[in-house]
């Protein structure tokens, strides 16, 4: 029995198609085998793909949105990836799906911020849907690396710690130089007197 699950937001519709995996003891209303999916955004050309495209979409969109929210926009996916998402210089986001069929050009959709947000919500709805039991490799949230966040800190703040360290070292060195070195004790007169000669 073919199953369809649908997730919709204002500008985005994600539809999964598949079958229940009865051999694993799943119910007839559970989608355990994914046969395909379609993605429509704001009435444009509909994207269609298989399981590997959905997995790539999950990985790319989750990582891209995390960097975008942290004000560190960067692209994910390259020319060999089934899905890529890149920021556009003039604003917006280029979502590209590459077919596994030879001689098929990639399909590109340009999204604005609202459309990207709707896509993220649809993917979240799918992730939280108890009917979808397809084993998908959901990306785990990871904190951004320190070097990726450097540009968000003012230059003065970034230099404060090294400058303070150098200043503290200089003060410590100056303090050591100002401490007088202890002098050797003078010999006492009793020990320096010449021994009396025997008469």
122 contacts: CB under 8 Å, gap ≥ 6 = 7, 8, 9, 12, 13, 14
3-class DSSP state for residue 17?
Answer: strand
> Does 7 map to a domain?
yes
* E strand spans, 93-195: 93-97, 107-111
pLDDT profile of the chain (199 residues), mean per 10: 92 94 85 93 85 90 88 85 92 88 84 95 93 80 57 52 66 67 65 56
What tokens does 110 get? Answer: 């340009």
Residue 134 to residue 138: CA distance in whole angstroms:
11
> Does 170 map to a domain?
no
> Does 165 map to a domain?
no
- Per the structure, the count of domains in the chain is 1
Residue 25 is predicted with a pLDDT of 81
> Does 160 map to a domain?
no
Residue 28 is predicted with a pLDDT of 84
Residue 85 is predicted with a pLDDT of 95
What tokens does 74 get? Answer: 């960067």
Query: What stretch of H or E contains 3?
Result: strand 3-8
Burial of residue 1, with CB atoms counted within 10 A of its CB: 0-12 exposed, 13-18 middle, 19 or more buried: exposed
> Does 184 map to a domain?
no
Q: Of the candidates 129, 167, 125, 177, which has an alpha carbon nearest to the alpha carbon of residue 29?
A: 129
| Residues 117-126 as b or e (16 or more Cβ within 10 Å = b) | bbbbbbbebb
> Does 129 map to a domain?
yes
> Does 90 map to a domain?
yes
Residue 69 to residue 194: CA distance in whole angstroms:
89
> Does 176 map to a domain?
no
Residue 19 is predicted with a pLDDT of 92
DSSP conformational letter for 145:
P
Range of the domain at 96: 3-135
pTM of the predicted model as reported, rounded to 2 decimal places: 0.69
Residue 30 to residue 22: CA distance in whole angstroms:
9
Residue 42 is predicted with a pLDDT of 86
Residue 188 is predicted with a pLDDT of 63
β-bridge partners, 76? 85
């Amino acid at each position: 029995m073919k199953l369809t699950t649908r997730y919709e937001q204002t500008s985005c519709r994600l539809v999964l198609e598949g079958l229940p995996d009865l051999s694993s003891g799943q119910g007839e209303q559970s989608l355990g085998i994914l046969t395909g999916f379609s993605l429509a955004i704001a009435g444009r050309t509909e994207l269609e793909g298989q399981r590997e495209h959905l997995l790539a979409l999950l990985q790319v969109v989750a990582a891209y949105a995390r960097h975008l929210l942290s004000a560190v926009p960067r692209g994910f996916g390259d020319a060999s990836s089934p899905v890529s998402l890149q920021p556009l210089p003039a604003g917006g986001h280029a979502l590209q799906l590459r077919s596994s069929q030879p001689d098929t050009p990639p399909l590109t959709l340009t999204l604005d911020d609202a459309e990207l947000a709707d896509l993220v919500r649809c993917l979240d709805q799918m992730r939280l849907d108890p009917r979808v039991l397809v084993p998908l490799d959901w990306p785990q949230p990871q904190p951004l690396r320190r070097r990726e966040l450097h540009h968000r800190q003012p230059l003065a703040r970034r230099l404060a710690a090294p400058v303070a360290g150098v200043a503290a070292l200089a003060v410590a060195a100056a303090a050591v130089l100002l401490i007088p070195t202890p002098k050797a004790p003078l010999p006492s007169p009793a020990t320096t007197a010449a021994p009396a000669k025997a008469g």
